[in-house]
Amino acid sequence: MTTPLTLTPGMPIPYGGDKATLVPAALAGAFAAGDRLLIDQETGALLHVPKAVHEIAAEAVDRAAAAFEGMAAIDEAAISDFFDRFAALLATEGVWSMIAAANAADVEAAKASGRSTTRLAVGEAMRGEMIAGLRVWRDSPSPRHRPLERIDHDGWNVEQISAPLGVVGFVFEGRPNVFADAVGVLRGGNTVAFRIGSDALGTARAIAGGALAPALAAAGLPPGAACLIDSADRAAGWALFRDRRLSLAVARGSGAAVAQLGAVARQAGTPVSAHGTGGAWLVADASAEADRFALAVENSLDRKVCNTLNVCCIVRDRARELVPVFVEALRRAGQRRGQGARLHVVEGDERWLPGGWLGAKVQVRRAEGDRVEPRADTIAIDDLAVEWEWEETPEVSLKIVADLAEAMALFNRLSPRFIACLIASDPRAQARFQAGVEAAFVGDGFTRWVDGQYAFGRPELGLSNWQGGRLLARGAVLAGDGVFTVRTRMRQGDPALRR
């Protein structure tokens, strides 16, 4: 028999082995019998999971775990049929009109609360991307039972074969299009339980009810193969990630929230793929071509997502020429969106700006509405670590560096070690950059190329930066066909074999 947990205000809770945090009065008052308390062992944060929320998440994992066992008997043609039916339903006007109506309500509710809608709103472009992504999985070979390696011995051999991993837990921000990313794990015989950000829950319900569930049923797949956790409570994500039945936990969203989710999963012993802090860096070398640089800047600022240009470094020898090129490209990027632009310049580098930037004002569209802000301001050098979140008005930081080595050192110290692109016509500079920059993704042009579907033709579950270190034995793009384990099979030809 277990004793129900009770909390009192000021009650010390140990964490990290040698520290303690105190229970706030609000948490003590809200905590009820049957609730769960999780402790982030890295920060000491106390995470309250109400009983009802825990039960919703546990029920979804129950269904996904049962479905994983059932997937072993499902052939590849049925899985392909599921993707085809899911895509066809999204292409059906009646289904899509229902989804669009739910999304419009979500967008209005988010706007009324002053929250961002740049990733929330669905449209024809997003619809097309979802359909295309599902058809990619329809036409992709299965990673199930794929031979990876074979070693022959006298009288016997050993073969390594890919195999399904299990139940994937997926928590993502309010971007409805990632449904197509989440269900990609079914291609390899896995199942998924996922939670979407509360702003997009109405849209998610419409997609799940109008397209996902009917496609699963019509294709003959277990109904729990892809489960939406129907809760607006952020604690549902914590409840999901603490479930030890998960084989992999995938988190996408803001840096702090993703870090906390990752901590919960790691404490449960579950491997984590976390995609948190974004923001790309672009460096103009002394050998940069001005026209190529301008295009890279402008085309890296078409919208705000994780691979949008966030910090630009220009080598001092070219600053007099390239800073005006940079700010003009920034202005054009804003103009393409019917907006101005915001610029943050590291203190001491403002002298390179053309006249009219410092001291000028610009109308900036924020989640809470339009407001007037400085067109350019100065920031401390450590603020290059800030990822600017913007709605419609492009916003970037600028640093003038002594040379390429300083740009790389700043990137390695201050960035999330995610995306670094170098504009340089000198191949030696490109080679130095590739070798010296601690980035998961390195390029020589615009930053927006970093995307699983765009670059590799496979919808991604997430892109991982190297903020927490390099990844073991895999790239920073996690797609559905990359979710597998390895089994080893022995075949004995000589029955008298012994050691």
189-223: pLDDT as tens digits? 999 999 998 999 999 999 999 999 999 999 999 99
What's the rounded mean pLDDT across residues 280-294? 98
Please, which residues have CB within 8 angstroms of residue 161's CB and are 6 or more apart in sequence? 145, 146, 147, 148, 486, 487, 488, 489
pLDDT score for 4? 63
pLDDT in tens, 53-75: 999 999 999 999 999 999 999 99
Residue 443 backbone phi and psi in degrees, to 5 = -145, 180
SS3 93: helix
For CA atoms 303, 306, 310, 315, the dihedral sign is: negative
Each residue's pLDDT tens digit, 402-411: 999 999 999 9
> CB count, 10 Å around CB of 409?
14
With cut-offs at 50, 70 and 90, classify the pLDDT of residue 2.
Answer: low
Give the tens place of pLDDT for each residue, 4-38.
Answer: 688 999 999 999 989 999 999 999 999 999 999 99
Closest by alpha carbon to 176, among 198, 149, 150?
198
Which comes out higher in pLDDT, residue 181 or 246? 246
Distance CA 204, CA 212 (A): 10
Query: pLDDT value at position 300?
Result: 98
What is the average per-residue pLDDT within 345-374?
92
Confidence of residue 276 (pLDDT cuts 50, 70, 90): confident
Contact at 8 Å (CB) between 378 and 344?
yes
Q: Are 499 and 173 in contact (CB under 8 A)?
A: no
Query: Is the pLDDT confidence value at 92 over 70?
Result: yes
- Model confidence at 224, pLDDT cuts 50, 70, 90, reads very high
Mean pLDDT (whole number) for 428-456: 95
What pLDDT, on the 0 to 100 scale, is given for residue 360?
A: 92
DSSP state of 393: S
pLDDT beyond 70 at 239: yes
Between 92 and 453, name the one with better pLDDT.
92
Check: CB of residue 48 under 8 Å from CB of residue 31.
yes
pLDDT confidence of residue 466: 87
Spatial CB neighbours of 305, under 8 Å, sequence gap ≥ 6 = 119, 278, 448
**Continuous segment of H or E residues that includes residue 250:** strand 246-252
What per-residue confidence (pLDDT) applies to 297?
98
Bridge partners (DSSP) of residue 37 are 48
Distances (CA, A) of 40 to 20, 247, 466: 11, 20, 21
User: What are the distances in angstroms from CA 309 to CA 112, 262, 312, 343, 389?
Assistant: 28, 26, 8, 12, 11
Its pTM stands at: 0.87
Q: For residue 341, give both structure tokens.
A: 């632009």
Question: Bigger pLDDT: 172 or 388?
Answer: 388
pLDDT range class, residue 1, cuts 50, 70, 90: very low
Residue 12 in 3-state DSSP? strand
Averaged pLDDT, 436-463: 91
Q: What is the rounded distance in angstroms from the CA atom of residue 454 to the CA atom of residue 87?
A: 18
288 within 8 A of 296, measured Cβ to Cβ: no
Sequence-distant (6+) residues with CB within 8 A of 115 are 199, 367
Cβ count within 10 A of residue 317: 13
- Strand order, beta sheet including 441-443: 376-379, 342-346, 395-401, 309-315, 280-284, 419-423, 441-443
Q: Judge whether residue 152 has pLDDT over 50.
A: yes
Phi, psi of 156 (to 5 degrees): -165, 165
Percentage of the residues of the chain whose pLDDT score is greater than 70: 99
Domains, the chain, in order of start with CATH, read 74-276+479-485 (3.40.605.10), 280-453 (3.40.309.10)
